[in-house]
Amino acid sequence: MKVATRLTRLPPYPFARWSAEVRAARARGADVIRLDIGNPDMPPPAPIIDALTRSARHRDHHGYPGFRGIPAFREAVAGYYERRFGVTIDPETQVVPLIGSKEGIIHMALACLDPGDLALVPDPGYAPYALGAALASAETCTFPLPAERGFLPDLGAIPSEVADRAALMWLNYPNNPTGATADLDFLAQAVEFARRHDLLLCHDAPYCEVCYDGYVAPSVLQVDGALEVAIEFNSLSKMANMAGWRVGMAVGNAQAIGALGQVKSNIDSGIFQPIQEAAVEALSLNPAWLAERNAIYQERMEIVLHAVEAAGMAAPRPRATLYVWAPVPSGWTSEGFGLALLGETGVAIAPGSVFGPGGEGYVRISVTAPTERLREATQRLVPFVETA
């Protein structure tokens, strides 16, 4: 059959290729411990599951829900942004539900990029930012996240002629894969950059509730004037341990939300209503549950940080996210180290290079395996590095 030209320009999804390596290791009989993906291993709180089951018992909750979502879900999103960030959102015009934020990220590109248009994308970064542009037959220009700047970009170093050509720019804080955080001063610089160059600022914030040591992640929409130039993507995958439920939201500039909704109205028929009703519950999470869950992640972070330091791969201590971003030992490439570790010990970590050229020299280690399995993985990692 004929394959669309856009697919010939689209590289394989990085984690699909890496997952094939993991499957091959298991087929060889390896006891694989997966620290390569940010897939929460703990369930959502019981009230969320109860809300799902209650709703699913209703005879009339199994039809097409519509791409805009039930009003209660959009109102819950607006209520969350008001309570959490002090941001007033119109649930009718400034919120659209997403079948997971990854879906919305790809569709945002289809909503605002034409062939030949330009998207600004961080390197290293989450692959769908660039893949969405590729599916829209648009171009990308990457900007680096230097370690010496705390993995924050130097927006002033982006050439004006490039920024003026761009239709949108992606940012993501707390950051995947580096674990870096950004304060409101930096986000205000980003809003001003978007205004100056007449582009849409797309901020991806799925880790805003996975924070440690008292850190509280901000929203770009807290910046004065952000609603004029910005849209924020969020998800319950990491916030409420609901990765497989596929529910998220885009919030912000009404024109951008309308364009994204127009794409979705032609592509999907919305999120299963019982999942939306469970999401309403999730958007009012008990802060004590969040603190307890994050304390488990923080304990695991300490285990990983201690291990990488013992292995001579000392990494910065993240204040948020599920990841440790560690340098590979001298003499290794990111993928070479990851493949050797997987092949010899069964420990799967993510090579930094799957996040772009800027990730070369690093590996991303997730803390979403059960604590004892993660401890076992680190006990395999340290002697591997010492003898490699």
CATH of the domain at 371: 3.90.1150.10
Establish whether the linkage from the previous residue to 65 is cis, with ω within 30° of 0: no
Contact predicate 358/145, CB 8 Å: yes
Is the pLDDT assigned to residue 388 strictly greater than 80? no
What pLDDT shows up at residue 123? 98
Rounded distance between C-alpha atoms, residue 324 and residue 296, angstroms: 15
The pLDDT of residue 18 is 85
Number of domains within the chain = 2
Q: What is the pTM of this model?
A: 0.95
Task: Indicate whether 111 and 55 sit together in one domain.
Answer: yes
Residues 19 and 102 occupy one common structural domain: no
Residue 12: pLDDT above 80?
Answer: no
Residue 264 tokens read as 């979705």
Over the stretch 231-261, which tens digit does the pLDDT of each residue have? Answer: 999 999 999 999 999 999 999 999 999 999 9
331 and 208 in one domain? no
**C-alpha–C-alpha distance, residues 388 and 384, integer Å:** 6
Mean pLDDT (whole number) for 98-127:
96
Segment (H or E) for 383: helix 371-387
Residue 5 pLDDT: 85
| Residues with Cβ within 8 Å of residue 108, at least 6 apart in sequence | 132, 168, 202, 231, 233, 250, 256, 260
**Last residue of one domain, picked from the residues 255, 282, 309:** 282
Tell me, yes or no, whether 60 and 38 share the same domain.
no
Q: Which SS3 state, helix, strand or coil, does residue 348 take?
A: strand
Nearest CA-CA partner of 98 in 132, 69, 72: 69
Give the tens place of pLDDT for each residue, 51-78: 999 999 999 999 988 889 999 999 999 9
Q: Distance from first CA to last CA of the chain, Å, rounded?
A: 47
- Rounded to the nearest 10 degrees, what angle do helices 101-112 and 254-267 cross at? 100
Same domain, 270 and 308: no
Same domain, 71 and 162: yes
| 262: Cα separation from own chain's centroid | 23
Whether residue 376 sits in one domain with residue 298: yes
Which segments of the chain are extended strands (E)? 33-34, 95-98, 118-123, 139-144, 166-172, 200-204, 230-235, 248-252, 323-327, 347-348, 350-351, 362-366
Three-class DSSP category at 11: coil
Residue 357 has pLDDT above 90, yes or no: yes
10 falls in which pLDDT band (50, 70, 90)?
A: confident
Measured between alpha carbons, how far is residue 4 from residues 103, 108, 133 in Å? 20, 20, 15
Determine the structural domain holding residue 233 and report its residue range: 46-282
The reply to whether 157 and 193 lie within a common domain is yes
Q: Which residues of 304-323 are buried (b: 16+ CB within 10 A; e: fewer)?
A: bbebbeebebebeebbbbbb
Q: Specify the pLDDT at position 13.
A: 80
Q: What is the DSSP secondary-structure string of 230-271?
A: EEEEEEHHHHSS-GGG--EEEEE-HHHHHHHHHHHHHH----
- pLDDT of res. 15: 78
**277 and 313 in a common domain:** no
44 and 241 Cβ atoms separated by less than 8 Å: yes
Q: Are residues 200 and 219 in the same domain?
A: yes
Q: What is the pLDDT of residues 149-167, one digit of tens each?
A: 999 999 999 999 999 999 9
For 89, the token pair is 């959102």
Domain boundary among 282, 310, 334: 282
CATH number at residue 179: 3.40.640.10
User: What is the residue-averaged pLDDT of the chain?
Assistant: 95
Q: Examine the domain organization and report whether 170 and 102 are in the same domain.
A: yes
Looking at the structure, tell me whether residues 257 and 196 fall in a common domain.
yes
Q: Check: CB of residue 115 under 8 Å from CB of residue 167.
A: no
The two three-digit tokens of residue 290, written as one number: 């969040």
Residue 120 contacts residue 199 (beta carbons within 8 Å): yes
Q: Cα separation of 189 and 225, whole Å? A: 12
